[in-house]
Structure 1
Amino acid sequence: MLTNIRIVLVQTYHPGNIGASARAMKTMGIDDLVLVTPRRFPDPEATRLAAGAQDLVEGARVVESLTEAVADCVMVVGASARLRSLPLPHFDEPEVMARELVSHAGHDRVALVFGRERFGLTNDEIRCCSHQVSIPANPDYGILNLSQAVQVLAYETFKAWRQRPQSGDSPISPAAERMPTRQQIDHFHAHLGRVMRQSGFLTQPHARTEAHLHALFARAQPSRRELSLLRGLLASLERDSTAQ
């Protein structure tokens, strides 16, 4: 199950934080590390601060976008302060987040996403996520180093994995009832946008309209079966529009 849990670091500035994050991951049994356009990598500082987790650093995958990093994941949790302008499902308690993450990791890939040391994740990157999580801290000084944040959420995930129900205690959801991957969600939104434009519902760019619909479906969290039904409806509307 832990092999389905991925840590994604976006545009890491200090290579030492990559090594320290790898060390935090390894202590909690997580070994899938993906780096989105790191400033410097490979780098000796990353290897040095891995301190026994050099294999994770050497095996880290480097990609060009967060979309690519999480395309095959069904649950993507962005670590950030609560952003009310982006109403994604939000976890105020990492422990609650970890239990849900682990429940999906039993049969699908999931990811925890961490942003830049200086200013975290952008709004566009948060939109690539299915959920947000915040780490409770001293309100007068709540700043965690990147690797410290990785350690906290990796620990909560490992604890949830240790305390998970055994396979005989809870039924496994059929594939159709499982959450769609982020790639499947992206394809759905592209399809929805195309049909809205073809139908005349959107006659000019309406970024906020589409953003509101993204937020609506993020809250609804449709299953794969439900998303397939929606795609079928859109395809039928497209055919009718073409026939007219």
Structure 2
Amino acid sequence: MLPNIRIVLVQTYHPGNIGSSARAMKTMGLTDLALVNPRCYPDPEASRLAAGAEDVVDQARVFTSLTEAVSDCTQVVGASARLRSYPLPHYDEPTEMAADLVANARQGPVALVFGRERFGLVNEEIRDCSHQVSIPANPDYGVLNLSQAVQVLAYETFSVWRRQPDSDYQAPAHDSVPLPTRQQLHHFHDHLSQVMHASGFITQPHARTEEQLRALFDRAQPTRRDISLLRGLLSSLEKGMQGDDH
């Protein structure tokens, strides 16, 4: 399961934070590091602060967008210090997040996403996530640096994994039914958008309807079978509308 858990760092400014995050990952058995548009990489400072986790830094993959970095993941959890306007399912307790992440990692890649040092993830990037998680901290000073946040959530994940050896672990019922990847969900939402616009259901270009529907499906966590069924329904509706045009 642990090789299926990916840490994604978005637009990291200080290369040393890449190395410190890699060190935090490796202490918890995580090795899959993805970097989205880092300011400096590769960089000697990243290797220096990795302090024994240089292999994680060296093997990191670089992507030009978060969408690309998590396209094959079935669950994508964005670490955020505060809730944004986009109503994603939110974990108040990292332990609950870790339990779901480990369970979903049994069937394919999952990701924990961390934003920029100064202001985290922007709303557009939150839309690439299926869930959010916050780290409980002192309300008067709840500031964690990037590698500290990685360490806390990596520790929670490792702790759940360590307490659930395969011999005793009872997989959730949905484990037998694969979840869709983020790419498959993007294709579904694009298809849904086309049908909604073609049918006249959406008439305002800036309406929040599509955003609310994305959030609804994220909360529902449909399986791949569900998405296939829904896309079949959309295709049937499209054919019906085309017939009406004739």
Scaled by the length of structure 1, what TM-score is found? 0.96
CA displacement 1:47-88 (0-9 Å, x = unmatched): 110010111111000000000000000010000024252211
**1:171/1:58 CA distance change after superposition, 3 Å:** closer
What is the match of residue 87 of structure 2? 87
What is the match of residue 76 of structure 1? 76
For 1:241, the aligned partner's letter is M
What is the match of residue 212 of structure 2? 212
What's the CA shift for 1:5?
0.3
What is the match of residue 202 of structure 2? 202
For 1:102, the aligned partner's letter is V
Q: CA-atom RMSD, angstroms?
A: 1.5
**1:159/1:193 CA distance change after superposition, 3 Å:** same
What is the match of residue 13 of structure 1? 13
What's the CA shift for 1:224?
1.2
**1:196/1:94 CA distance change after superposition, 3 Å:** same
What is the match of residue 34 of structure 2? 34
**1:20/1:165 CA distance change after superposition, 3 Å:** same
Identity %: 70
CA displacement 1:157-202 (0-9 Å, x = unmatched): 0001011253565257577722211001100100000011111212
Q: Which moved more, 1:50-59 or 1:176-185?
A: 176-185
**1:211/1:172 CA distance change after superposition, 3 Å:** closer
For 2:34, the aligned partner's letter is V
What is the match of residue 50 of structure 1? 50
For 2:128, the aligned partner's letter is C
Unaligned runs of 5+ in 1: none
What is the match of residue 2 of structure 2? 2
Return the alpha-carbon distance in structure 2 between the equivalents of residues 204 and 159 of structure 1: 47
Residues 176 and 223 of structure 1 are in contact (CA less than 8 Å); yes or no, is this contact kept in structure 2? no
Return the alpha-carbon distance in structure 2 between the equivalents of residues 170 and 231 of structure 1: 32
SS in 1 for 2:228: helix
What is the match of residue 62 of structure 1? 62
Listed as ranges, the matches of 1:1-244 within 5 Å are: 1-83=1-83, 85-164=85-164, 166-167=166-167, 169-171=169-171, 177-244=177-244
**1:167/1:231 CA distance change after superposition, 3 Å:** farther
Return the alpha-carbon distance in structure 1 between the equivalents of residues 152 and 211 of structure 2: 31
Scaled by the length of structure 2, what TM-score is found? 0.95
Q: Which moved more, 1:220-229 or 1:33-42?
A: 220-229
Give the number of aligned pairs.
Answer: 244
Unaligned runs of 5+ in 2: none
Residues 71 and 183 of structure 2 are in contact (CA less than 8 Å); yes or no, is this contact kept in structure 1? yes
Residues 82 and 132 of structure 1 are in contact (CA less than 8 Å); yes or no, is this contact kept in structure 2? no
Return the alpha-carbon distance in structure 1 between the equivalents of residues 169 and 115 of structure 2: 36
Return the alpha-carbon distance in structure 2 between the equivalents of residues 172 and 118 of structure 1: 37
SS in 1 for 2:76: strand
